[in-house]
Structure formats: C-alpha cells, structure tokens
Structure 1
C-alpha cells in the first residue's frame, strides 16, 4: 500500500515508530454507523499480492490474492486511538522458522503472558533458518518434531528431517540432507561450533 519510490521512507522506523496493528477493538455502535453509511461494507483499500496457485509449487500458475488489511480500517473511524502494547507481549511470527523457534524451549511465556527468551539464553535470540522449499507452510512443521533449542545459537536446516523427543541442539549447526528420505535425528546432544 505504498508506492515503490516511497518505500525507503515508509520503512524509516525513526519516523514511523508504530506500524503493526495486531488487534482491533471496535465500538459496535460506531461500526454500525459506518456500515450503514457505506452500503454494509467498510471502505477499505484493496491489496493485490502475487502468489502461485499452489503455494507448495513455485512453478504453478501465477495468481493474485486480493485482500484488505483490517488495520487500514482505523481510517474509517474518526477519533480512533492506538494502544502501544510493550514488545514483551509480542513475539513476531512471519515465517515457519519464527514459529519453530516460538514453539521451542528457547522461548518462555510467563504468568503475565509476556513472551521472552528462556533465562539461560541470557538475552541472545537463536537464529533458525529452515529450508524454505520444504518448510514454508505451517503444516510442514508437523512431521519435523521439536528438538531442544535452549542452547542453540544458529540452526540452518536444508533437507528433510525428523527430530525425536530428546534431541538437543547446541551452538551453530548446519544440518543438510540431500536425499528424498527423511533423516531421523535420534535423542542425544548435537553440538556445532
């Protein structure tokens, strides 16, 4: 929703410090008023995203996904306000690599709902880089299993793997499997540099 020539300034976080809208709270009477004034729809801008017909096959037919961003809906409500939720309540998940990390023991959720690194991480977030060809979609993580990442610095995974309960990864690891068969990672400690 930004012209190409404006993207560098749009991404300037010094100028635009608040840019994610993850939750909307709307007064129903205000929503009804806007819907009544606009024929039963919110007048939101249309977003066109280039995709492939089959997200698992990058060579499948190109298509456009049309969507609207609910965050843009705030422009429909005069006097709308933003609430700044502290970063401690948010763990961004944009990729399956992020989700894999969030599900791991390197991340904890405390009794107040704060998402944080496990104390033993001492403020250092592990880097997870899953093979995008194999682990792009959420359901592709189902057969992967979940090793311990609490002692991991960086994990790069290329190829098909399955981690059994009790697999512990430490340090910096590049795990590669060039075959079409899934490589089984049995319980034990696997340490890299």
Structure 2
C-alpha cells in the first residue's frame, strides 16, 4: 500500500501549487484520486444481479395521470427545476463551441428549444420553472454570450460550472499543468457525476431550496425527448421517491447503454465499464437486459444536499485514458446516474421511446430534421403518419460526419416517414423532394459523384450507379 500513499502525498503537494482551481476543486480531485488508488476500477459481483421487480421499475402507463386543473398543475411545477448538462462541445459533429448551440431544426438550436419548452409551461400555468445549465470550462464563456439573447424571456436561467480537474500523467502520476502544460489540454471536466457537488459548491442548491423548490429534472441538453413530464413529477411527489431513473426498452442500437438492475435489494445502474470482460456479451444481450438508461433523472433537492454534505455519493470511478501530444494521461470520471443507489425510495420508470431522442451524430440529425417530426412550442413531436413505432436506422458515410459537410449534401431533407433503413457510402448528394421508403442502400464508387435527382422516389432499392435510380 505504501506506494499509493507516497503517490498521493506527492500528488497532494503538486496540486496545492495549482492556482487555476479553487480549494474545493483541489480537495474534490484528491478525494477522487485517493478512492481510485484504494479501489481501482470496481467490478460488480455478477451472480448478485437481479431483474428489478415491478415495484422498483414501473411501466409508464401504470402511473396515475397528473391532476388536470391548472392550479394543481401550477403547484406541481412550482416545485420543479430543470437542469441540463451543457458541458459538451460539438466536436464529434465537427462544430466548435457548445454542442447545445448547433441548429437542430427550423433555425432553432438545442438551447432555443429547451428555453421555448419551459417558457411555454411557465406561460400556460403561470408557474416559475427555472432552467439551470451546468457548463464546463470548455463551454462556459460561449454559453454566457449566447444567453444574452434570452434576457427578455419569461424564464430564469441560472448557470454554474462543472469542476476543472488536472489530467494525470500516467508515468509519474503528476498533474499535467505542473509539467508546464498550462493550456486547456492540461485539464478536463470530470464527467457529469460532478453535478451534485457543483450544485452545492456553487450555492445554487441552497438558493433553490429557499425558493421552495423540491425536485430537479436532469437530462443531457442534446436529448430532444427529455421534456418535463407531469405524470412522472406527480408520481414521485406523491410517493416521496428521492430519485427516479427513466429507462426505455433496448433495441440493437443501444447495446452499449447502461441498464437498471436490482442489486442487494436496491436498484442501481450498471454501465458497460463495470462489467467483467467475460460477461460483456451477456450485458449487451437484449434478452437478459431489456432496458437501458436514458440519462433522464428526477431527484429530490434536499436528498442531494444531505448526501453531498454527508460525503455519501461515492459513485463508481470510470478511468478514461487519453493521450495529449504523445503523453499518456488519465482522466478519472463519474456518471450522475451511478448515484441512484445512494438515494432512498429509488425507482425506475420504463418510459416510451419518444423520451429518448438524442442527437449524437449527423445520422440522428437527419432524423430530427426530417418529416418524421414536427415542432410545436419547442417540443419535437413525432409524425402520427409513421406506423412503425421504432425509428429508421440510418448509416451515413464519413463524407457526412461533420454538420458543415452534411448540410450542403441535401437540397432538402428526404421524406422518411415510410422507410426502415438507409445506408449511404461515398460521395453522394441529394436533390430536393426526395422520398425514401423501405430499405435503401446508396453507394457511390470511389472517385465518382452520385447525385440523387430532385423528386426521386426510392423504394426498397440498392443503388450503385445512376442507372439504378
């Protein structure tokens, strides 16, 4: 053990010299590292895993409907705060700046839609649901500038920052910024499990409690399905659940997503990182684990305060190895869903798939821009004309990966209400008014450009050249 004690002492004195972060961030970081050194990556005892019972995991359609009269709804909503995780950059989609400011549909960004939805509720019911954004040091400055445009809107927008921790050099276990790496790449935000501590550290939690707020709904800012649901809110208030996790049935596209299990009598989330290697294929099976975590969580604010102040939120640590200019580094992160097991009276609710509509890639982007959805008061509503309950699968080649490359390739987004799957590879360009049906695969040969003419209707076809259209 001596070795890791020495490592920690050396690290502690190095971290003490870092002037770019607060004392609270320093102690949070040292706590995380010392837990990691004493535990390593924790693995779960596979034989203890059970499927949650109906008391712990409720089907959405068994919830009692929320009260219908406006005054009772206002009372419910006045207890609520909406918190969106806004620390991510749009880099995977080739955008600079916060991901939440990518235009998703009809000129509106993710953030515009979130604001519109909450404004709609506040106006309709005369309530005051504030919006909180947890930014990271990567997104904070840009977000503050963007928020100026909502200055006159009927919604209180509050921001606070995720912690900033130093990346650790693997060879000597010292912080990169102590080795002359003082720029941004010496630091990282430690995963969204940090949200609870930061809510408390920033003073935001106490100020919300003093305004009579009781619950917070937390979701990723890029999940367009994560809207305020009155039935869920009503249920957890009536039943005094300190936490509720929204899960939804798993499809083959979701095999890597975390799932909800019963473990030693309590529900908890199981992420792929915690699964021993020999059980990974079982974890991915749709037969054994039929649901996955949408990352939509409802939590009691007083419970968060109690657990943070009691230092009880010891979530599993996810080691994330990276490389910065040839130097191997380690980032230790936690996920906020992993805190579920520390709350009392925790439940999961198996919600409709419509509450999980994330935009992680340009393929998702194509779905939400198409006629599969419409926009009403900031809510993205699925087209009733689509009979198939599941969304089409879309696989676009690397030419479409970045938003800036994706957009020019479509004169207009094709109609996809009646289609099942699309696979596009090569240099393909779409005209306007294209209709896709059934299963479609389009391949442009290397070095050739393939143009799909305006108004084409393609039904269950494999297209390898212009003559196939």
Scaled by the length of structure 1, the TM-score of the pair is 0.67
Cα 1:169/1:17, change in 2 over 3 Å? closer
Higher RCO (CA 8 Å, separation ≥ 6 residues): 2
The number of residue pairs the alignment matches comes to 182
> Could you tell me which residue of structure 2 aligns to residue 56 of structure 1?
none
The structural deviation recorded for 1:135 is 3.4
Q: Which string of whole-angstrom CA distances, capped at 9 and with x for unpartnered residues, describes residues 101-149 of structure 1? A: 24322356799x7965652x43275332211x33345665333432222
**Distance in 1 (alpha carbons) for counterparts of 2:436 and 2:403:** 22
CA distance in 2, matches of 1:7, 1:63: 26
Distance 1:123 1:110, change over 3 A: farther
Q: Show the counterpart of 1:165.
A: 432
Cα separation, 2, equivalents of 1:176 and 1:37: 58
Contact 2:361 / 2:401 at 8 angstroms: preserved in 1? yes
Larger Rg: 2
User: What SS does the corresponding residue of 2:345 show, helix, strand or coil?
Assistant: coil
Q: The residue matched to 2:281 in structure 1 has which SS?
A: helix
Match of 2:407 among 139, 142, 154: 142
Specify the alignment match of 1:32 in structure 2. 305
Q: How far apart, CA to CA, are the structure 2 residues paired with 1:177 and 1:165?
A: 19
CA contact (8 A) 2:374 2:383 kept: yes
Q: 1:177 to 1:5 in 2, by over 3 A?
A: same
Q: Residues 156-177 of structure 1, C-alpha deviation per residue, up to 9 Å, x if partnerless?
A: 2112344343233345433233
Which residues of structure 1 form unaligned runs of 5+? 54-59
Partner of residue 127, structure 1: 393
The farther-off stretch of 173-182 and 154-163 is 173-182
Counterparts of 2:353 and 2:322, CA distance in 1:
31
2:366 corresponds to which residue? Answer: 100
Distance 1:12 1:161, change over 3 A: closer
Q: CA deviation at 1:7?
A: 2.0
Aligned to 2:282: 9
1:187 to 451, 454, 465: 454
Q: 1:144 to 1:77 in 2, by over 3 A?
A: farther
Structure-2 change in CA distance of 1:37 and 1:105 (3 Å):
same
Would you say the 8 A contact 1:90–1:114 is kept in 2? Answer: no
Residue number among 308, 318, 334 corresponding to 1:47 in the alignment: 318
110, 134, 152: which one aligns with 2:419: 152
Across the aligned residues of Structure 1 and Structure 2, the Cα RMSD in angstroms comes to: 3.9
Aligned partners of 1:13 and 1:129: how far apart in 2? 21
In structure 2, relative to structure 1, the CA distance for the partners of 1:107 and 1:49 (3 Å cut) is: farther
Distance 1:26 1:171 in 2: 42
Higher normalized helix content (fraction of residues): 2
Displacement of 1:72:
0.8
- Report deviation, 1:183: 5.3
Q: Could you tell me how far apart the structure 2 residues matched to 1:70 and 1:139 are?
A: 32
State the match for 2:334 in structure 1.
Answer: 68
Unaligned runs of 5+ in 2: 1-273, 462-469
The answer for the alignment partner of 2:199 in structure 1 is: none
C-alpha distance in structure 2 between counterparts of 1:129 and 1:147, whole Å: 14
Once the two structures are TM-superposed, the CA of residue 86 in structure 1 deviates from its matched residue by 2.5
